[in-house]
Copies of this chain bind each other. A is one copy, B any other.
């Protein structure tokens, strides 16, 4: 029998998204289950495997029609199998998760870091479709990134490839980043970073700006104010674009991707995000790389399950 189905899993700290796909990447079914992180996440594997088996029966898909499962996890992964203990999963990890899932399910499994797996999704069916050399950056609470070279995820020796959120952009920073060091990219260009920069600017200034009137500062609000012509918001975003664009130019000097796909909360502001980043990217990039393309991510929260399915597709050969 031909194997025609792929399963993508996006294992998050609160919910786990599961998607069933045809081999061509058509989404057959998707849903979420809660992630039970209690007791070091001891129920995680069982919950996911039971859910997958139940859904396969419901869809009338026999187990031997499934090529495999690809799973994105919120932590470092080695050899597409071994998961380091994950902070957001109550330290779940420290073992070969691919083998553990595979033993339970009876078909092959590959595991990857969630940002990396999402990058695969955006390459396969999202903003980077058609490209095999891609940088996917998510600007949310932090800055995550996935690096794809020749269609394959780059994981790194210590599972730390794509940790561009922790590139140092300001050695004089006194505030500490989540990683324990100072002056990381994500302290300035993540959604949280942009909001922080805004708070700092407002607290120390008497300039007239509509941002003073907001009940709560959010990324969307800053982008809206800039669109409405607020000079302070505009300056804030230019500074943001400069830091982000320069960092992307530096990433590009390392591995020279074809396209940079930007996702996450900040990217909801739309094309203006891309335009700002690209403007400064071009001014700082090595000349040969100036024409690197930019695109918005377009799979949203589904990037993880699409990427998981793409990871599983590698099991087909």
Contacts and interface: CB of A to CB of B under 8 A. Distances in A.
Contacts of A76: 288
Main SS of the interface on chain A?
loop
A72 interface: no
B256 A288 contact: no
Contact of A288 (B160, B257, B287): B160
* Contact size range, A: 35 or more
A250 B168 contact: yes
B287 A156 contact: no
Interface string A282-301: 01101111011000000000
B287 A253 contact: no
A167 interface: yes
A147 B257 CA distance: 14
Contacts of A168: 246, 249-250, 284
Contact of A160 (B163, B179, B289): B289
Interface in A135-171: 147, 149, 154-164, 166-168, 171
- Which of the listed residues A76, A133, A252, A286 has the most CB atoms from chain B within 10 Å of its own CB? A286
A251 B249 contact: no
29 contacts: A76-B288, A133-B157, A149-B149, A156-B256, A156-B257, A156-B289, A157-B256, A157-B257, A157-B258, A157-B289, A157-B292, A158-B288, A158-B291, A160-B288, A161-B255, A162-B254, A163-B253, A163-B256, A163-B288, A163-B289, A166-B253, A167-B249, A168-B250, A168-B284, A171-B246, A179-B286, A181-B283, A250-B250, A255-B255
